[in-house]
Amino acid sequence: MVSALVVSFFGGLQASVSVLLTLCCGFIGARMGMVRSTTARDISALCRNLFLPALLITEVGSQLTLERLHEYTPIFIWSIAYAMTMIAIGEMAVKLFQVPRWTVVAVTFNNTVSLPILLTRSLLETGILTGIADGNVEAAMRRATSYFLMNSFVSKVLTFSIGPLLLHSDSTPSDHVERGVEGGDIDDDEAESCQDERALLLPRTQSTLEPSANIGDKIASTLGFIPLSFIGSLFNPTTWGGVLAAIFGLIPFLHQAAFAPSNQGGFLNAWFTSTLRNIGGLFNGMEMFVVGSKLSDSLDVPPHIPPPRPPRNAVIVIMITRFLVSALMSIGIIYLLAVKTNLLGHDPVLWWSMMLMPIGPPALVLVVLQEVTGVEQRGKMMMARVLAYNYLATPLMAFAIVLALRTTEAALELRSQSFSGVI
């Protein structure tokens, strides 16, 4: 038993380190001048506007069928439920620990696409998923990928619909904390210098990274109607990729045409779907590479500017919440639902995926969200530093991976005993 846990832990640790090294390659590339900030913005735009929609169509569309639609319904509900729970935890942290306002969004929205998918693919190489894969680890990985993508789809809509509302609050101590970091206030000269150099401290991301957010904001600001910001956030390539995935998945004729072998009616598979797979396959590695390069840019403070130091209590709150609280909450809840009810179906890969969905470092897109919503520049600098610290802590996910894996195996065994193998 101990040896099995050790093997599982080192498997999870290897997968986490693999993701971190991909990020470090982007960081090193930016530090050595091989990747400029403008190049990173262009690649990020490609990832979100082209590569990710293609990945949604091929991975979710191939797995999503009328017969398996019930497996994705819990993910939709769970994605909303855990986001609302994390918002409540973040709001409590702001009031109890006097942390900046951006702590709420950092606690709520984590990296839901490239990180978990890269982790899953790395775990495939370690072989530790065999116990829940039902004899076919490759198929299990593809199912897990489609589950994580569905979660990401919901998370992105939530990020750009309620994220700005979480940042636009005047009744929080964020300004006080951002001006008085680590117990020391910023004097007028330093504040003026920071204002003059803000273009250098964080590169302008503009609308190329997430044009939907600007569309919604422009509509809302023109008409003065906040809900339209949510409507605007829906009109982006990721959303349309999800819609097309549902169309190709749920319409039997199109599903066969796109995903069946060519000699079995899949006349789109060899050329159309294959092209989308090639494009979508670029997303995960490129996205994490760009994350590393962006973190490098955001940490590149000119020598005559005092480096921004995030409030220590905010860093601690975010790390504990993102890597510990979220793990204990999600693993416990999903375990109980899997053992006590039939709401989650009978696929242990689904249980394991749902356990991991709320866990991990904050999404880098939060810097973009702050840029769009006009958050004070020093707050954006601090958010970038917090993101860097959290991504360096990515190997901590090895503990959550192992705990989720062992809990899933225990749930599978209990269900087998309770229902005698009949679900």
What pLDDT does residue 108 have?
92
pLDDT at position 208 is 35
Q: Domain segments of the chain: what residues?
A: 2-419
- Predicted TM-score (pTM) of the model is 0.79
Q: CA–CA separation, 59 vs 55, rounded Å? A: 6
In the predicted model, residues of the chain with pLDDT beneath 70 are 1-4, 168-235, 298-308, 367-381, 418-423
pLDDT at 178: 41
Residue 247: is it exposed, middle or buried by C-beta count within 10 angstroms (0-12/13-18/19+)? middle
Instruction: Characterize 250-283 residue by residue with b for buried, 16 or more Cβ atoms within 10 angstroms of its Cβ, and e for exposed.
Output: eeeeebbbbbbeeeeebebbeeebeebbebbebb
Phi-psi region of 184 (alpha: psi -120 to 50; beta: other; left: phi over 0): beta
CA 411 to CA 336: how far, in whole Å?
8
Per-residue model confidence (pLDDT) at position 82: 95
pLDDT digits (tens, 9 = 90+) for 228-268: 555 555 567 888 888 899 999 999 999 999 999 988 888 99
User: Around Cβ 168, how many Cβ atoms within 10 Å?
Assistant: 12
Q: Quick one: pLDDT at residue 317? A: 92
Q: Please check whether the domain covering 2-419 is classified as CATH 1.20.1530.
A: yes
Coil, helix or strand at residue 311: coil
- pLDDT for 364: 73
